[in-house]
Amino acid sequence: MRAMTLNDVDAVLGIELAVQVYPWTRGNFIDALSHGYVCRVDEDGGETRGYAVLMPVLDEAELLNIGVAAGQQRKGLGRAMLHEMLDVAREKNMRRVFLEVRSSNAAALALYRSTGFGEIGVRRGYYQNASGSEDAVTMACELPSPLTPLPQVGEGN
C-alpha cells in the first residue's frame, strides 16, 4: 500500500460507490486527506484495488473506511490492508483501534473478528438502511507493543 493523494480520489470514489451501501462522498475523502488521517491505497500495475482510512486520536485510532474493488474481493486483500493499518497504528504507538460496522455486513464482521477485533457495544438504529435503520456494532482491537508480531492469517480463527 502507499499513501493516498488527491490524485487517487477519483479511483477510490469509483470503488466506494460500487461496494458500499451508503458510500462516502468525494468531500469525505478530501476531508480525510486534509485532516492528515492515515489514508492508503493498494495499487497493482496502475489499477487501484482498495483503500483504507484511519483516524488517529491521541493513543487510539478509528478505522473510518476500508474497501476492496468488487473484482478483487475474497483474495486476501482486505485482510492484508487491515493488517497494514494496524501496523501503522502500532508504529505510531497507539494502544487500540476502534471501528463501527453495520450489523448486516457479514463479510466485514468476519474479517474484523478474524483479525483480532472484539465486539464492545451496539448502537441501536445507528445506520440508515432500506427498511429504516440498522444497528452499528462497535469493535476494538487492542494493539500489542510495536515489537510484538501481530498474529498471522489463520491464527486464532
Ligand X SMILES: CC(C)(COP(=O)(O)OP(=O)(O)OC[C@H]1O[C@@H](n2cnc3c(N)ncnc32)[C@H](O)[C@@H]1OP(=O)(O)O)[C@@H](O)C(=O)NCCC(=O)NCCS
Q: Can you give the binding site for ligand X, defined by CB under 6 A?
A: 19-20, 66-68, 73-79, 101, 105-108, 110-111, 114
Please give the Cα distance from 51 to 29 (Å, whole number): 11
Q: In angstroms, give the least distance from the CB of 89 to ligand X.
A: 16
Q: In angstroms, give the least distance from the CB of 64 to ligand X.
A: 9
Q: In angstroms, give the least distance from the CB of 46 to ligand X.
A: 19
Q: Helical H runs in 38-105?
A: 77-91
Closest residue to ligand X in the complex (CB): 78
Burial class of residue 51, CB neighbours in 10 A (0-12, 13-18, 19+): buried
- From residue 41, alpha-carbon distances to 10, 15, 53, 81, 111 in Å are 12, 11, 9, 9, 18
Using the minimum distance from each CB to ligand X, give the nearer residue, 36 or 154: 154
Catalytic residues, by residue number, are 100, 112
Using the minimum distance from each CB to ligand X, give the nearer residue, 3 or 18: 18
